[in-house]
Amino acid sequence: MPSSLPDVTAQAIREEQDFLDAADSCRKDLIDELGLQLRTPVRDRTDHHRRAMLTARVRALTEADSGLVLGRIDTDHETTHRIGRVGIPRPDGGEPLVLDWRADASRPFYTATALDPQGLRRRRHIRTSGARVTGVDDEFLTEGAGSGELVGEAALLAALDEGRTGHMGTAVATLQREQDAIVRASADSPLVVQGGPGTGKTVVALHRVAYLLFARPEIARRGVLLLGPSRRFLSYVEQVLPALGETAVVSTTCDGLVPGVATERDESREIAEIKGRALWWDALRRHVAELVPAAADLVLVLDGEPHRVSRSRLAGVLRGALAGDRSLLAARDVAFARLRDELVERVVERTAELLTSVEDGLEEILGGVDAALARADDRGVRTAASSGQVDGELSEDDIDELRRRVEADPGVSAALERWWPVQDPRRVLTDLLHDPAALALVAPELTAAEIAAVVAEPEGLSSSDIALLDAVMALIGTDPAGRRDDREPFLADRAAADHGWTYGHVVIDEAQELSPMQWHMARRRTPTGSLTAVGDIDQAESPHRHTDWDGAVAPALGSRWRRADLTICYRTPREVMALVPPILARAGSRNEPPRAVRSSGHEPRELTIEAPGLVPAVVTQVEMLSGAYPGGSVGVVTAVEHLDLLRTALPGMPVMSALEAKGLEWDACVVVDPESIAAEPRGWNALYVATTRCTQELVQLHVR
């Protein structure tokens, strides 16, 4: 502990260090105790579930070794609570030693202000490095009054001034009031969060995931799907949720959402826009409906005897099977089951007819025998037999056995398969996309030129094809035999491999980039509509036509969604945000830019260079900034035309287009050729993204 610290600060750090040591000891003891329980043999399904829960708890406790305690609240009633990433019970019971940050009792730590102290006298932010307390920051909420807009500003700004390391921090201790309200908002209907750069959209989204998994067991049982804009972005945030102790999450991109499928080629923006339109859902539904077999006489042969199902009867079977908006495969299973039942009924009826005829013949024979016996024996001897003793009906056991034979008969199965074969979704999609007549029939909204452009595309899946394929797979259905056992403990692995899996909640980051068909992809994964989408509609760079949230989400969500806004920019300094208003105006924005709350002390620098000197100028600026931020990070955002050249000149350095840089941040950023960025498709939106990637310093290089 530095000797230069004031006595009161040093004493507070010692106090929190003593508590952290005690809490860490309890954490380790709890891990050992749970480890003993995990050694108990598994006997049944209940034990499997219990073991999965214990394993998750051990993992959460193990990963909480950093930031075990992050805050403290002292109430007006002289009680004290520590807040941490996970809850730690007291060895002797009673109130928890450490409150989980998601617990209701922890909420005042994030939401109390001097205007609304919510029963708190003091809030303390505790900074740690591993198991060592490095600093504290006290706020006395009952003394004085402030604007009420920021909570724990000193701790927040200290966190923002930390160097960027390439991985997103959890920021649990510095969640702000408007952020916390979104983290804990109701998850019963879709929520769309609009936030400009630096407002903490991704932090809010990830902490909302952790909160919902903690607070809503029904969501935890099905897990959460996190959709990000790129694999690079997912790598950037991958450490956040494990640090919060949550692993029941599948994180992927829209392109990676279909198991076993990946993009195989690029596509133009024009084709991506055409294939991303909402009209494709209805078009594909019409096309898949054409794959249902026609109603015609069907002959099923059992034991060498043919049984004919009439066209009218088959039409009735099809109507019943297709009712209820079933997938094609589910309807096929229903139709097959009903036709097998029909065959069983036919065989039962035929058997009854045969037995009845045998019975009638037997009665005549028995009558003749009785007459002969009577003539031969004047005592009137009788056989005492009658046709009533011949059972003209099959028993229930006989019918069950017949049903098993029908289900196992290869000839019957082959006849049904020929009548209604299984369709390969990819083949179905490929055939449609290369058939102009079929496209004109099912998608009359497309012009002849648009159809010709789609048909001219080579085979192989592009990004927009993934969303179309997903829709075809949903309409055709998936084989339930491929589903994995519910007893498997790792939900994320199980869910990611199952195309039919539905999640308890879906979170979409950079949601403004999704096409209408990708919105349908996401919506199908949450039948309850429990969904959170975060993004900045003004940063949209996708080729799709929406310019406001209603246009973006209405095709999939209709009008059943809520909006929340993040209005405070914590990341991007005031000096840089001052450049934003004219850029947003050129982008056609209708949103108020967020208000920056911190200053970096560095005014943006602008340099103009000749084109031949581009590479040495960029290299020079990167070297200067890297020296100025040791241990931090520097990024380059450039017009697409310079990407290859600058990546060759700066190996190992993040050199990206504005689209690739979306959602990322560095201490310092060099924006290369902003005029060319603005000239790209949706270029003013792209320049808005590029300009707001830094937390400290911005350099713009104009190319003459």
pLDDT (mean) for 354-379 = 56
Give yes or no for residue 172 having a pLDDT over 60: no
More confident residue, 389 or 475: 475
Which listed CATH number (1.10.3470, 3.40.50, 2.40.128, 1.10.8) goes with 201-288+426-569? 3.40.50
More confident residue, 687 or 229: 687
pLDDT of residue 164: 53
Give the span between the Cα atoms of 196 and 98, in whole angstroms.
34
Does 201-288+426-569 match 574-703 in CATH topology? yes
Give yes or no for residue 383 having a pLDDT over 50: no
pLDDT of residue 489: 46
Give yes or no for residue 219 having a pLDDT over 60: yes
pLDDT of residue 478: 78
Q: pTM of the entire structure?
A: 0.77
Mention the CATH class of domain 574-703: alpha beta
23 Cβ contact partners less than 8 Å away, ≥ 6 residues apart:
68, 69, 82, 84, 88, 97, 98
Residue 239, SS3? Answer: coil
Across 549-571, b (16+ Cβ under 10 Å) vs e yields: beebbbbbbeeebeebebebbbb
Q: Which whole-number Å values give the CA distances from 167 to 304, 377, 623, 666, 676, in the listed order? A: 70, 108, 22, 10, 29
Average pLDDT, the chain: 85
Strand order in the sheet with 80-84: 98-100, 80-84, 71-75, 120-129, 132-140
Sign of the alpha-carbon torsion through 397, 399, 402, 403: negative
The strand pair at 71-75 and 80-84 is best described as antiparallel
Judge residue 51's burial from the number of C-beta atoms within 10 Å of its C-beta, 0-12 exposed, 13-18 middle, 19 or more buried.
middle
Beta partners for 140?
A: 122
pLDDT of residue 381: 46
More confident residue, 551 or 486: 551
Q: DSSP assignment, residue 105?
A: G
Q: Which residue has the tokens 């921090």?
A: 169
pLDDT (mean) for 123-141 = 85
Q: By 3-state DSSP, what share of the chain in percent is helix, strand and coil, each rounded to 5? A: 50, 15, 35
Both tokens assigned to 573:
């300094």
Q: Which whole-number Å values give the CA distances from 429 to 193, 467, 601, in the listed order? A: 34, 11, 56
Give the span between the Cα atoms of 573 and 603, in whole angstroms.
9
Give the span between the Cα atoms of 180 and 191, in whole angstroms.
14
Least confident stretch, 48-57, 97-106, 460-469, 678-687 = 48-57
Give the span between the Cα atoms of 687 and 659, in whole angstroms.
10
Q: 171 pLDDT band (50/70/90 cuts)?
A: low
pLDDT of residue 395: 79
Judge residue 68's burial from the number of C-beta atoms within 10 Å of its C-beta, 0-12 exposed, 13-18 middle, 19 or more buried.
buried
Both tokens assigned to 644:
């290859």
Q: Which whole-number Å values give the CA distances from 455 to 229, 281, 449, in the listed order? A: 28, 18, 10
Q: Which residue has the tokens 């019975």?
A: 359
Q: 143 pLDDT band (50/70/90 cuts)?
A: low
Q: Kind and range of the H or E element at 569?
A: strand 568-569
Both tokens assigned to 191:
């929520």
Q: Which residue has the tokens 């096409």?
A: 515
End-to-end CA distance of the chain: 53
pLDDT (mean) for 605-623 = 96
**Percent share of the chain, pLDDT over 90:** 54
pLDDT (mean) for 361-367 = 55
**Rg over CA atoms, the chain:** 34
The strand pair at 132-140 and 120-129 is best described as antiparallel
Extended beta strands in 162-304, E state: 191-195, 224-227, 249-252, 298-302
Both tokens assigned to 228:
């990000």
Sign of the alpha-carbon torsion through 361, 364, 367, 368: negative
Q: Which residue has the tokens 């209408």?
A: 516
Q: Which residue has the tokens 């209603």?
A: 550
Whether residue 240 contacts residue 234, with contact meaning beta carbons closer than 8 Å, is answered with no
Q: DSSP assignment, residue 231?
A: H
Sign of the alpha-carbon torsion through 339, 340, 344, 350: positive
Extended beta strands in 21-180, E state: 71-75, 80-84, 98-100, 120-129, 132-140
pLDDT (mean) for 284-291 = 95
Tell how many helices (H) and how many strands (E) occur in the chain.
Answer: 29, 20
Q: Which residue has the tokens 């055409």?
A: 274
Q: 362 pLDDT band (50/70/90 cuts)?
A: low
Tell me the domain boundaries of the chain: 7-148, 201-288+426-569, 298-422, 574-703
Q: DSSP assignment, residue 293?
A: P
How far is CA 181 from its chain centroid? Answer: 21
pLDDT tens digits, residue range 497-517?
899 999 999 999 999 999 999
527 Cβ contact partners less than 8 Å away, ≥ 6 residues apart:
502
